[in-house]
Structure 1
Amino acid sequence: MRKKCTALILLLSILLPALASCGHLPVPDEDALFRQFTLDLFRQEVSADTITLNYTVQEPESYGIQDTPASLGSFSTDTAVSAASIENCLSLLQDFRYRKLSPENQLTFDVLKSYLETALLGAPYALYEEPLSPLTGVQSQLPILLCEFSFDTPEDVDTYLSLLEEMPSYFTSLISFEQAKADAGLFMSSRNAQDIIDECAAFTALGDSHYLFSSFISRLEGLSDLPPVQKEACISQHRDLIYDCVFPAYNRLAAAIAALKDTGTNDGGLCYYPNGKRYYEYIVKRDTGSARTVPQLQNLTRRQMAEDLSAMQSVTPLSGEDSSFALADSSPEAILADLKEKTAGSFPSLPEVTTEIKFVQEEMAEYVSPAFYMVPPVDNSQENVIYINRGHLPDDLTLFTTLAHEGYPGHLYQNVYYASTDPDPIRSLLSFGGYTEGWATYVEMLSYYFTGIDEDRALLEQKNASLILGLYALADMGIHYDGWSLTETVSFFRSFGITDTETIREIYDLIIGDPGNYLKYYIGYVEFLELKKTAVKEWGEDFSQKRFHKAVLDTGPAPFEIVEKAVKEKK
C-alpha cells in the first residue's frame, strides 16, 4: 500500500517569477515559465509540514528550500479558504499557453489541471473526510512515518524531536476537527469509534517495548558524526518526549473519541448523510481516477466478475493434494529476487536499488495493513523500504503475491521506474490512488503465473482473488451509494458463498470507516485491464506486454483518461 503522509493543500500565495520587460533582456519561453511555476508550487506544498518535506526530498537545499520550521501541520474546517486556494491555482495554471508547452509539460499541465478540478469538487466536503479511518488513518500511519523519518544529519534528529513536542498541539487540532464533525452530525459510527479507542490504547500499552524507541536508537547509530555522549542525551530526551508528549496525545485522542462515540447520527453508508451521495461520487472520482459514473463502475465490476467466473469454469477444479503451496526459500528477499528475475521479460528495465524489509511489531499487527511500501524521496529512489505484517500473511502464496504488489513489479518498481524518467517534481505530490494501487493490484494478479505452480491452479487462484476484491468493490458501492444495510450486505456475500456473519460484519465496518478504499485497488486494476484492451486494438500486431507496460509507466500516476490518451498516442 502506497503511503502518502499528507494531502496536497494548495495555498493562495503562489507567485509567478518576476520577469524583466526590458527589450535587451531575454524573455523566458513558455516552458521555462511553466517549470518555474510548478517548481514554486512544489516548494510551497512540500514545505507545508515537516514529515512531507522529509519524505519527499532528501536534500531540500537543492530545490531552494531552507530554514523551514518543524511542524506536523493541522486540520482545517474552512471550506471557503480551501476552495479559493484551488481556484487561484487553477487560474494561474490556465494562464499558460498550452500549445506552446512541450509534450512533457503538456502532460504535467493536464495531470495538474485534472487534480485541481477534482479537488475543487471536494472542497465543500471537508467535514465529511475522516482522518481516523481504520488501518489507514492518522493514528496508524503517523507512528510508522515517525519510525521512518530519516536521520541524515544531527539537525534531522533535532527536527524529529521537535516534531514529538508538536504532537499534543497536532492532536488538539485533530480532536477539534472530530468535534466539528460531531457538531455537524457527521461523526463516525460507534463501532469505528471503538476501534480507534482500542487502537490508541494498544499503542500506549507497549510502553518501553514500543517500536518508536528501537527505531530511534537504530537511526541514531547510523549517524557517525554524532558523538556517543550526544547520542545518549538524545535517547534520554526522546524517552521523555514519548512519555510526556506522544503517549498523552494518544490518550487524549482516545478520551475525546470516547466522549463523542455516541454522537454519530449514521451507522450506515455515506448516502444517508445530507449530500452524502454526491460526496461519495467525488471520492470515487478522486480515489479511482476513473471518469465512469458509479452505476457504470458497478456494471464494469459485474462484467469483470462474470469473465473471471467463466474463466474458472473452463478449467478442472483443484484436488485436495494441490491445495498447498510452499517455496524453497520463503524469505522476502528471496521472493523479491525471484520476482525481479521472472518479470524482467515483460517490463522495462529498472535502475539497481536496495530494498530493506522490516516487520510490523507483533503488538500492533491487528491495526496495520498486511504490507506497505514506503515511497522514497524524489531525489533518492535507490533506497527502498517494505513493511511486512506477518500476522496478516498466513502462507507462502499470500506472501509471494503481496511482495509482487509492494515490490516487483508493484509499488517499488513503479515508483523507481517513474523516478528514473526525471518527471516534474510537482507530480510527486499529486496522489492518484486508482493508478498506483490499480497498478500494484494488476501486477499482483499477474504474479500468480510467476509462482511456478500448475497453470490451471494459478488461474483459479488469481481469478478467485480478483472475484473477492470485486465483491468488496460492489459492497463498497452498494453500502455508500445504494444504501445497503448490514442485513443486505450479509445477504449479498452469502449469495457468493461467504457465510461467516462475523467476517461480513468486519468487512462492513471497514467499508463504513473507509469509503472508496477498496475501489482504488479493484477499479484501478480493471481500468488497467481495459487500457490493455485498448492497446491491443490500437497497436495490433505491434502490441507486446513490455511495450504496454512502458507506455503506462512512462505516463506516471494520472487519471485513466489521461493514461488512455497517452497509450493511444503511442500507436
Structure 2
Amino acid sequence: MNRLNHLARIMTLSALLAASGLTITSCSSATVAHGDSSATNANSRFETLYQAEWAWRQNKSTSDENTDDNYASSSLPDVSIAAQQQRLARWQSTLDTLDSIDVSALSEANQVNYAVYRLQIETLIADQQFKTYEKPLLGDTAFWSNLAYQARKTFRHEQDFDNYLAWLQDMPRYFDQQIANMRLGLARQFTLPEISLQGRDASVISVVNAKGKDNLYFQPFTKIPASISSAKHAELKARAQAVIAEYVIPAHQRLLTFLQEQYIPNAQPSIAGYDLPDGKAYYQAQIKKYTTLALTAEEIHQIGLAEVAKIRQRMHDVMKEVSFDGNLQDFLTFLRTDEQFYVDTPQALLDRAAWTAKEFDGVADDWFGHLPRKRFAIIPVPDDIAPFYTAGRGGPGVYLVNTYDLPSRPLYSLPALTLHESAPGHAFQMPLSLENNAIPEFRRQSYISAFGEGWALYSELLGEEMGLYHTPYEIFGMLSYQMWRAARLVVDTGIHAKGWSRQQAQDFMKANTALSVHEITTEVDRYIAWPGQALSYYLGQMAIVEHRAAAEKALGADFDIRHFHDMILQMGSVPLAVLEQRVERFIAEGGPSPYQE
C-alpha cells in the first residue's frame, strides 16, 4: 500500500478536533504577539485546565502503578462505582471546556498539546462509558499482578517503609472494590473469555501460599538501608510480617475464592469482542484507543493480508540464501525443532539478550543524537506468570525476558525481541519521554500504543541497518516478528469482528510465522483477552517508515537519521496524526536536530 493510500485513512490532526468544529493552523506572528488578549486567554485557559485535571487524575488513578523506584504510595486508588461516576463527570466536564477553547488562538506548541490531550480525554470517557473498569484484567496482566511492581522497589527512607506498610493494609478495601466491579461485569457477561482465564489464579495462589518472609510483598524489607538503625530494621520486619498475615493474604484469599468459584466458571464463553455488551461499538472504540486511527475492522484486516503477502516473499528470499530445500512450512518446522537455535538454561537466554543489548550500545551514537540517562536491568519473567506471559516486555529500567519453556524461545528471534523491548525500543523511548521537561507532564507520563509499539517494532527493522543481525536466520527471525505483527492485524480483527475461532487464529499464525506453538498459543489468547491492542504495532510502524521515506526523499543529502530519530522521540507519545504533522514541519525546516531549537 503506498503512502497516499495509507495516509488517506489516517486521521488528520483536524479530525482529532472535529467534535469542536475547529481546524489546526500555524499561529501567525499577529496571533501570538505580546498583547494579543485572545491568544493569552486561550493558552492560559487550556494550560490551567490540563494542569488541574492531570493533578487530579494522578491523585485518583495511579497510586497503584507508581513507577518511581524509590517512592512508596501510602494507599491504593478508589475504584468504587461512586469514584467511577466522578471520573466520568470530571472528564465530560473537561471535554466541554476543551470545546469552548479557541484552538486557532493557541500557540503552535499548545495546538499539539491540545490534540494529544483531547484524545486522552476522549479515550478516558469512552473507557468509562463502556465500563472497562468492570474487567480489570487483560491478556497477561491483572489488577492484582500489577501490584507486584511495588514489591520490587528499593526504599531509602523510613517514611517510605511506613507508607508501603499502609499501602499493604489498604489491599483488602481495594480488592473488595475490584471484586465488586468484576461482579457487575460478570452479571452482564463483560468479562475475559473463559478460555483466557485458565491458570490466571496462579499468581494469586502464590501470594496466598507464601507466608512471612517468603511472601513477595516482604521483598522491600530484605533491602533496608544501613542508614536505618538495626532496632528499626527489626521493627519494620516484624510489622511487615504481621501486615502480610492480617491484610495481604486474606485479601488475596477472598479474590482467589471469587475467581475459582464464581468468576472463571461463569465467564463469557465467546472469544469475540463483538459478542460483548454493545460489542461492535466497544471494539471500534478499542481500535481508536490503540491505533488513534479512524479505520474499520475490515480495512485493518485487508491491510494485514496485504502486508503478510509482502513479508512472505522476503521470507522466501532468506530461504534461498541458506539453500533450504523445502517450502515455507518445512522451513518453519526446521526452525522450531533444530537444536542449534535453542539454549539449555535460563541464564544462557538472559546472557544472549544482554549481548544484543550491549551491541546496540556500541552503535547508538551513529543513529541517535540524544540518549536517555535511565539504564535498564535484564531479568526473567516471574515464575507465577511466565507460562502465559509474552516472550518479553520492556519499559523504564527493565527488560523482562521469559525463560519459561526454553524450547519455545529461539535464539534467531532474540535480537529482534531485545531491540523491541530494551534499546532502542521501550526501555529507551519511555525514559526519553519521562526525561523530557520540554513537554507537559500529561504527555511525559502517558503512553499511546500506536506510537510506542510502532516505535518498538520500527526498532526491530532498524536492527538490520545497524548491523545487529549476524546470520540469515536472525534476519528471518526479524521477518518472522514483522510477520507476527502484520498477522495480528488479520487475527485480531478476525477474532473480534469476523467470527474466527481460536483454532483458526492459531492456524493462521502457525502458517505465517516462526513462533513456537507455545508462543502462538499464549499470543492468540492475549489477543482474545485484549481486543484491539495488537493492532497498534504494525500500523504505528507503517506510519514511521512512511514518514522517514518522505523525509529522506524531500531532504536528500540534508537528511540526518540521528536528527530524524531524535525528532520522533522528543515528542513523547502522540497520536499518529500529530506525528505526521511534526514530520512535515521537520521537512519544511530542513531536518534540524530538535535539540538545537
Unaligned regions of 5+ residues in structure 1, if any?
1-26, 61-67, 376-383
Unaligned regions of 5+ residues in structure 2, if any?
1-38, 325-333, 588-597
1:275 CA displacement:
1.8
Match of 1:199 in 2: 203
Superposed CA offset, 1:306-328 (max 9, x none): 22122223342435899857999
**Contact 1:438-1:521 at 8 Å conserved across structures:** yes
> How much identity, in percent, do the aligned residues show?
20
Matches within 5 A, 1:73-472: 73-76=78-81, 81-127=86-132, 130-143=135-148, 145-149=149-153, 151-207=155-211, 210=214, 212=216, 215-221=219-225, 224-260=226-262, 261-315=264-318, 316-318=320-322, 324=340, 330=351, 333-375=354-396, 384-391=397-404, 394-422=409-437, 423-448=439-464, 450=466, 452-454=468-470, 456-472=472-488
Matches within 5 A, 1:473-492: 473-492=489-508
Counterpart code for 1:342:
V
1:169 CA displacement:
1.1
**Contact 1:202-1:364 at 8 Å conserved across structures:** no
1:69 CA displacement:
6.1
Counterpart code for 2:241:
R
1:470 CA displacement:
2.3
1:358 CA displacement:
3.6
Match of 1:513 in 2: 529
Match of 1:23 in 2: none
> In 2 relative to 1, CA 297–77 (structure 1 residues): closer, same or farther, beyond 3 Å?
farther
Counterpart code for 1:483:
G
1:285 CA displacement:
1.2
**Contact 1:77-1:177 at 8 Å conserved across structures:** no
CA distance in 2, matches of 1:130, 1:488: 26
2:55 corresponds, among 43, 50, 53, to 43
1:152 CA displacement:
4.0
> In 2 relative to 1, CA 364–214 (structure 1 residues): closer, same or farther, beyond 3 Å?
farther
**Which stretch of the first structure deviates more once superposed, 326-335 or 126-135?**
326-335
> In 2 relative to 1, CA 503–389 (structure 1 residues): closer, same or farther, beyond 3 Å?
closer
CA distance in 1, matches of 2:557, 2:412: 34
**Contact 2:434-2:444 at 8 Å conserved across structures:** no
**Contact 1:79-1:124 at 8 Å conserved across structures:** no
**Contact 2:448-2:575 at 8 Å conserved across structures:** yes
CA distance in 1, matches of 2:351, 2:517: 33
Q: Secondary structure at the match of 2:400?
A: strand
CA distance in 1, matches of 2:465, 2:586: 27
Superposed CA offset, 1:503-530 (max 9, x none): 7655443322222232233333333333
1:449 CA displacement:
5.2
**Contact 1:192-1:509 at 8 Å conserved across structures:** yes
Q: Secondary structure at the match of 1:373?
A: strand
1:166 CA displacement:
0.9
1:39 CA displacement:
2.5
> In 2 relative to 1, CA 425–479 (structure 1 residues): closer, same or farther, beyond 3 Å?
same
CA distance in 2, matches of 1:498, 1:258: 35
CA distance in 2, matches of 1:33, 1:541: 43
Q: Secondary structure at the match of 1:195?
A: coil
CA distance in 2, matches of 1:174, 1:58: 27
> In 2 relative to 1, CA 216–276 (structure 1 residues): closer, same or farther, beyond 3 Å?
same
CA distance in 2, matches of 1:499, 1:447: 19
CA distance in 1, matches of 2:514, 2:378: 34
Q: Secondary structure at the match of 1:187?
A: coil
**Contact 2:435-2:444 at 8 Å conserved across structures:** no
> In 2 relative to 1, CA 278–54 (structure 1 residues): closer, same or farther, beyond 3 Å?
closer
Number of residue-to-residue matches in the alignment: 528
Superposed CA offset, 1:109-131 (max 9, x none): 11001222233334321158621
**Which stretch of the first structure deviates more once superposed, 350-359 or 274-283?**
350-359
1:251 CA displacement:
2.0
> In 2 relative to 1, CA 566–187 (structure 1 residues): closer, same or farther, beyond 3 Å?
same
**Contact 1:187-1:265 at 8 Å conserved across structures:** yes
1:149 CA displacement:
4.2
Counterpart code for 1:413:
F
User: Under a length normalisation based on structure 1, what TM-score does the superposition of the two structures give?
Assistant: 0.81
**Contact 1:134-1:196 at 8 Å conserved across structures:** no
Match of 2:77 in 1: 72
Q: Secondary structure at the match of 1:349?
A: coil
CA distance in 2, matches of 1:40, 1:301: 41
Q: Secondary structure at the match of 1:314?
A: helix
> In 2 relative to 1, CA 309–502 (structure 1 residues): closer, same or farther, beyond 3 Å?
closer
1:104 CA displacement:
2.1
Counterpart code for 1:404:
L
1:346 CA displacement:
1.8
CA distance in 2, matches of 1:37, 1:303: 43
**Contact 1:448-1:461 at 8 Å conserved across structures:** no
Q: Secondary structure at the match of 2:57?
A: helix
Higher normalized contact order (CA 8 Å, seq sep 6+, divided by chain length): 1
CA distance in 1, matches of 2:414, 2:472: 20
CA distance in 2, matches of 1:387, 1:500: 19
Match of 2:13 in 1: none
1:33 CA displacement:
4.8
CA distance in 2, matches of 1:230, 1:282: 51
1:236 CA displacement:
1.5
> In 2 relative to 1, CA 340–533 (structure 1 residues): closer, same or farther, beyond 3 Å?
same
CA distance in 2, matches of 1:212, 1:176: 25
CA distance in 2, matches of 1:149, 1:328: 25
CA distance in 1, matches of 2:117, 2:568: 17
1:255 CA displacement:
1.1
Q: Secondary structure at the match of 1:196?
A: coil
CA distance in 2, matches of 1:132, 1:276: 18
Match of 1:380 in 2: none
1:299 CA displacement:
2.1
Superposed CA offset, 1:1-28 (max 9, x none): xxxxxxxxxxxxxxxxxxxxxxxxxx97
Matches within 5 A, 1:529-548: 529-548=545-564
CA distance in 1, matches of 2:167, 2:92: 31
CA distance in 2, matches of 1:69, 1:329: 34
Q: Secondary structure at the match of 1:71?
A: coil
1:76 CA displacement:
3.5
> In 2 relative to 1, CA 328–389 (structure 1 residues): closer, same or farther, beyond 3 Å?
closer
Match of 1:22 in 2: none
> In 2 relative to 1, CA 344–385 (structure 1 residues): closer, same or farther, beyond 3 Å?
same
1:472 CA displacement:
3.2
CA distance in 1, matches of 2:106, 2:385: 49
